[in-house]
């Protein structure tokens, strides 16, 4: 069995989620003076490859250390949607199911192709990666619950569409106007009425607010070997391994495929 790393690198150069603090790292001991090298980090949980726990959106929700270990390793699929997705597109259950069989309780990882625009990707573009990524169609919510999926993930900064996030709602409002650009592009892509239907006010952070209370959680910023041809659209063994963060609402993790 061969392991494949599905994680993105993380350091101080990695862009942080809007309105969150950045990843900071410094040496606090050096071998020449102290006989050892040691580093100190200060960061939020929501950058790089990370797993959100229900506590991220549910007041007394399950925390990282309370997630059953059997949810974090087992059968699943990597679904390649990269040939069908462009800026601000939506992905649907139908798009997924026409490519591979999804079974109840699977670990489901979506390869959208967007990881290539991440900080350490081959076509790094911070604005494209954060502002213009595809996102979940509203139909994903009942479908994921019907499939009894506990862990799913994407090679993007969020599972939610930018129009259901601060990015498309108010990021840069009155200043750089990032949200205005996203809204204009969505109106052009879908039409104004269809855009309102797809992204109503009630759908703010949809895949977080609607799924976390039901213990359907996700990994964001997947990458690494996720585009390896031999992993696409087939059943395999997957693992998502966060540190055992007691009380954690999220945690950095290493995502791995085994084939």
Q: Which residue's entry shows tokens 């996030």?
A: 165
Rounded to whole angstroms, the Cα distance separating 233 from 82 reads 11
Domain with 156 in it: what CATH number?
Answer: 3.50.30.50
Which of the pair, 173 or 221, is modelled with greater confidence? 221
Is pLDDT above 90 for 142?
A: yes
pLDDT for 184: 96
Is pLDDT above 90 for 247?
A: yes
Is pLDDT above 90 for 107?
A: yes
Is pLDDT above 90 for 175?
A: no
17 falls within a domain: no
Name the pLDDT band for 118 (thresholds 50, 70, 90): very high
pLDDT for 233: 98
Sign of CA dihedral 75, 81, 87, 90: negative
Contact 161, 168 (CB under 8 A): yes
Residue 85's Cβ-count burial label (10 Å; 0-12, 13-18, 19+) is buried
Q: Which residue range forms the structural domain that includes residue 133?
A: 3-8+48-258
pLDDT for 257: 98
221 falls within a domain: yes
- Strand segments, DSSP code E, in 98-221 are 107-111, 135-136, 151-154, 217-220
Closest to 72 in 3D by CA, of 212, 228, 238 = 238
Closest to 161 in 3D by CA, of 114, 109, 212, 226 = 114
pTM of structure? 0.96
Domain count, the chain: 1
Counting every residue, how long is the chain? 259
19 falls within a domain: no
Structural tokens at position 150: 């506990």
pLDDT digits (tens, 9 = 90+) for 51-98: 999 999 999 999 999 999 999 999 999 999 999 999 999 999 999 999
81 falls within a domain: yes
31 falls within a domain: no
123 falls within a domain: yes
Pairing of strands 234-242, 38-42: unpaired
Is pLDDT above 90 for 174?
A: no
């Amino acid at each position: 069995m061969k392991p494949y790393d599905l994680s993105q690198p993380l350091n101080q150069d990695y862009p942080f989620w809007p309105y969150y603090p950045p990843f900071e790292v410094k040496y606090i001991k050096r071998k020449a003076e102290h006989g050892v090298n040691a580093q100190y980090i200060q960061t939020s949980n929501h950058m790089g490859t990370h797993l959100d726990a229900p506590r991220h959106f549910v007041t007394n929700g399950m925390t990282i250390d309370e997630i059953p270990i059997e949810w974090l390793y087992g059968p699943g699929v990597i679904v390649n949607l990269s040939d069908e997705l462009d800026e601000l597109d939506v992905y649907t259950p139908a798009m997924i199911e026409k490519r591979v069989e999804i079974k109840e309780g699977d670990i489901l990882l979506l390869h959208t192709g967007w990881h290539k625009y991440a900080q350490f990707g081959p076509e790094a573009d911070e604005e494209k990666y954060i502002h213009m990524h595809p996102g979940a169609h509203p139909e994903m919510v009942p479908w994921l619950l019907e499939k009894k999926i506990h862990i799913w993930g994407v090679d993007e900064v969020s599972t939610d569409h930018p129009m259901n996030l601060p990015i498309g709602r108010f990021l840069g409002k009155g200043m750089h106007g990032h949200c205005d650009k996203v809204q204009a592009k969505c109106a052009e892509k879908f039409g104004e009425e269809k855009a309102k239907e797809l992204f109503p006010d009630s759908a703010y952070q949809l895949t977080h607010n609607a799924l976390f209370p039901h213990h359907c959680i996700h990994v964001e910023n997947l990458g690494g070997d996720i585009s390896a041809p031999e992993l696409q659209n087939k059943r395999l063994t997957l693992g998502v391994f966060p540190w055992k963060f007691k009380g954690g609402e999220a945690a950095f993790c290493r995502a791995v495929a085994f084939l």
